[in-house]
Amino acid sequence: MAAHRTADHASDGGPLGADISNAVVQVLAEYTGRGPTKARTSIRENLVVVLLQDTLTKGELTLVRNGGADKVIELRGEFQAAMREDLVAALEKLTGRNVTAFMSTNHIDPDLAAEIFVLDGAQAFDPAQLP
């Protein structure tokens, strides 16, 4: 029986950052069968970065152990392309701003991923003042 893992969705982006972390984890879980156990969102002006930890599934970890790290990175790229619309929609809903660019990447060891969003406009914003 697998040990129960507690998710830690911290943020240095205030309540908005926590909401973004939760939304990204939820989308990842819907697409991959499980979400990362840790997520941290940083917000600075028009840049939102969500750093995720412990993202790989049991099957992906098995592939990595058997020399398939490149295949796992390739597969994760396919997931990220498929999730793009849902991730962008979640960010736009939470921030009330348009996403002008979205980038996503994974790293195997340590098991990390980053979802990077660039929002429209160059103005600084205070996450506490957003809806």
**Long-range CB contacts for residues 35-38, cutoff 8 Å, separation at least 24:** 35/7, 36/7, 36/113, 37/5, 37/6, 37/7, 37/8, 38/7, 38/8, 38/9, 38/10
Is the pLDDT at 1 greater than 80, yes or no?
no
Tell me if 131 is assigned to some domain.
no
CATH code at position 25: 3.30.980
Tell me if 94 is assigned to some domain.
yes
- Model confidence over 14-29: pLDDT tens digits? 899 999 999 999 999 9
Tell me if 40 is assigned to some domain.
yes
The number of distinct structural domains making up the chain is: 1
- Model confidence over 79-114: pLDDT tens digits? 899 999 999 999 999 999 999 999 999 999 999 999
List the domain range (segments joined by +) for residue 95: 8-121
